[in-house]
Amino acid sequence: MLFNTLQFLIFFIIVLGLYRALSDYRWQNAMLLVASYVFYGAWNWRFLFLIAASTLIDYWAAQKIHRATQPRMRKLLLGISLSANLGLLGFFKYYNFGIESFQILLSTIGFDVHSHSLNILLPVGISFYTFQTISYTVDVYRRVRPPVTNLLNFALYVAYFPQLVAGPIEKATQLLPQIEAPRTVTQQDVRIAFLWILLGYFKKVAIADTLAPMIDYAFSNPQEVSGAVSLVAILAFAIQIYGDFAGYTLIARGVSRLMGIHLMENFRAPYLAASPRDFWYRWHISLSTWLREYLYFPLGGSRHGRFRTYLNLMITMLLGGLWHGARWNFVLWGFYHGLLLVGNHALNQIPFRFNNRAWKGAQIALMFGFTLFGWLLFRVHDMGQLAIILENITTRFYWTPDLIYYLKPTLCAFVLLMAYHIWQERTGNDLILLQTSKWVQLGSYAFIIFALVTIRFQAVPFVYFQF
C-alpha cells in the first residue's frame, strides 16, 4: 500500500477516525497494531509471519537479557537475538547475491560452477524494522532502558505503519515511551502535520515522480544520449532520490503527528552540507545515527588512534552501503563515502584559516559535486553501465535537442528545493513557513495543491522500498 495512492488515503481516514473515536490509548494501540498489519499485509500477507517472528524473538530475548545476571549469559542471549535478526535479513536480502558472487569468483580462477539460486522475494522494509528491533535489544543489553512488559506495545513499536517500510529507523528510547503513554494532539500539531503531508506529497509526486521517467531512460540507455544529458540525469537523480525519500519521511511524520506521535527528523537540507561528515548529519539521519551508535562506536570509534579510526569509518560505510542492497554498486558507493569521511577526518587535523561566507559556499559546492558522483555509483546497475556513462561525460559532452527536455524540469526542481532549504537554513527554523504571513502560507499551499492536482498522476513506488 503506497502513500501516494487513493487506497492509502481511504485507509488512513478510516484509521484516524477510529483512533479519534477510541479514548483510551491502550485501545488506540491495539487498533494501530491491527492497522499496521493490514498495511503491511497489503503487499504480501505471508511476510506478516516474518515480522511477527522478529517481534516475538526480540521480545523474549530482551526479557531474558534483563533478568540474566551473568555477563556470559547476557551476551549469549544478545547473540541469539542478533543472529536471528541478521540471519533472516541475510537470507532474504543477500542469499542470491552471495551465491552469484561466489560463482563469479570461482569462474575467474577457472572453475565452471553452475549454482542454483532461489527466487527469493525481498520483504518490504525488512532492513528498516530489523535495525529497529536490533537497537531495542542492544539498548536493553546496555541497560539504557528496561524491556517492554506489554507484548502488544512492543509489536506496535516494530510494525508501526507510517515508518514501517522506509523509516525513519526509530530508537526504542524515542518511540516506545510515546506508545506506552496517553497521547494528545494540539492545534499546532495539526498545522505542522498538514504542512509536512503537503510538502511530502509535493516532493514525492510533483518532483521525484515527474523526473523519474527521463532518469530511467537516460540510465537505461546511456549509449543513446549525450554526455550532457547523462550529467543532467545524474543531477535529476540526486533531486529524485531526495524528493522521494524525504517526501516519504515527511508524510510519515505528518500522519504520525495527527495521532500525537512524533517521529524523528530524517533529512536536514542535505545538499547544503559543507563536508562529508556534515552530509551524514543531514542525510538519512536515522540510519547514520544507528550506524554510528551501534556499529562505529562498538568498533572503537576514534578512541584507538588514527589508523583504527579510518578502518572503523571504512567498515561502517561499507556495511552501510551493503545495507542498501545486494549489489556491488552499493558496496562501491559505501566504500566511496568511507573514503570521503576518511579524507574529511584527515583534513580536519590541519588548521584552516578561512572562515568566511565565500569559503563556506565553495565547500558546499565541492561537497555537492562529490555527492553527485556518489549518486552515479548508487544508481547504476553494473560497472559496464558506469563505464559508458563516464565515457559519455568525458568524450561525448555536447548539446543535443533533447537536453532541454531534461534541463528544464531538473533546474526548476533544483532551484525550488534549494531556495526553500536556504530559507530554512538562514532562519534556523524548519517550520519557518508556518511563521510567515498568512498570505505567504496561503500562496504556498495553493501552489502545492495546484501542482498536485494538475500533474499527470501515476503511483510510482518509493525508491527506498527496495531496501
Q: Whole-number mean pLDDT of the chain?
A: 89
Whether 105 has a pLDDT exceeding 60, the answer reads: no
For residue 100, how many other CB atoms are within 10 A of its CB?
Answer: 13
pLDDT computed for residue 424 by the predictor:
92
Report the percent of the chain where pLDDT is more than 70. Answer: 90
Measured distance CA(188)–CA(182) in Å, rounded? 18
Specify whether 324 is catalytic.
yes
Region 344-357 average pLDDT: 76
Give the list of residues 6+ apart from residue 144 with CB closer than 8 angstroms, or none. Answer: 173
Whether 273 has a pLDDT exceeding 70, the answer reads: yes
Measured distance CA(189)–CA(59) in Å, rounded? 32
Better-predicted residue by pLDDT, 459 or 449: 449
Give DSSP secondary structure letters for 232-252: HHHHHHHHHHHHHHHHHHHHH
Give DSSP secondary structure letters for 62-99: HHHHHH--SHHHHHHHHHHHHHHHHHHHHHHHHHHHHH
Measured distance CA(114)–CA(142) in Å, rounded? 46
Confidence (pTM):
0.90
Region 355-381 average pLDDT: 91
Measured distance CA(38)–CA(64) in Å, rounded? 30
Q: How confident is the model at residue 103 (pLDDT cuts 50, 70, 90)?
A: low
Choose among 284, 275, 463: nearest CA to 369: 275
Q: How confident is the model at residue 283 (pLDDT cuts 50, 70, 90)?
A: very high
**Ranges of H-type helices in 109-203:** 126-141, 151-159, 172-179, 187-201
pLDDT computed for residue 54 by the predictor:
92
Measured distance CA(101)–CA(104) in Å, rounded? 5
Q: How confident is the model at residue 90 (pLDDT cuts 50, 70, 90)?
A: confident
371-401 pLDDT tens trace: 999 999 999 988 889 999 999 999 888 888 8
From residue 374, alpha-carbon distances to 25, 343, 369 in Å are: 44, 15, 9
Region 57-74 average pLDDT: 94
Could you tell me the three cell numbers for 343?
579524507
User: Which residue of the set 114, 304, 324, 345 is catalytic?
Assistant: 324
Whether 350 has a pLDDT exceeding 90, the answer reads: no
pLDDT computed for residue 74 by the predictor:
94
163-202 pLDDT tens trace: 988 879 999 999 999 999 999 999 999 999 999 999 999 9
pLDDT computed for residue 190 by the predictor:
96
pLDDT computed for residue 357 by the predictor:
79
pLDDT computed for residue 161 by the predictor:
93
Sign of CA dihedral 63, 66, 67, 69: positive
Region 150-164 average pLDDT: 94
Name which of 5-9, 61-65, 202-206, 411-415 the model is least confident about.
5-9
Whether 419 has a pLDDT exceeding 60, the answer reads: yes
Number of H helices, E strands in the chain: 19, 0
pLDDT computed for residue 229 by the predictor:
93
Q: Rounded to the nearest 5 degrees, what angle is found at the Cα of 247, between the Cα atoms of 134 and 444?
A: 145
Measured distance CA(16)–CA(31) in Å, rounded? 10
112-144 pLDDT tens trace: 555 555 555 667 778 888 999 999 999 999 999
For residue 57, how many other CB atoms are within 10 A of its CB?
Answer: 18
Region 271-297 average pLDDT: 95
Cell 559508458 belongs to which residue?
388
Measured distance CA(430)–CA(444) in Å, rounded? 15
Q: Rounded to the nearest 5 degrees, what angle is found at the Cα of 163, between the Cα atoms of 1 and 296?
A: 135
193-244 pLDDT tens trace: 999 999 999 999 999 999 999 999 999 988 889 999 999 999 999 999 999 9
Name which of 103-107, 255-259, 322-326, 341-345 the model is least confident about.
103-107
pLDDT computed for residue 334 by the predictor:
95
Whether 248 has a pLDDT exceeding 70, the answer reads: yes
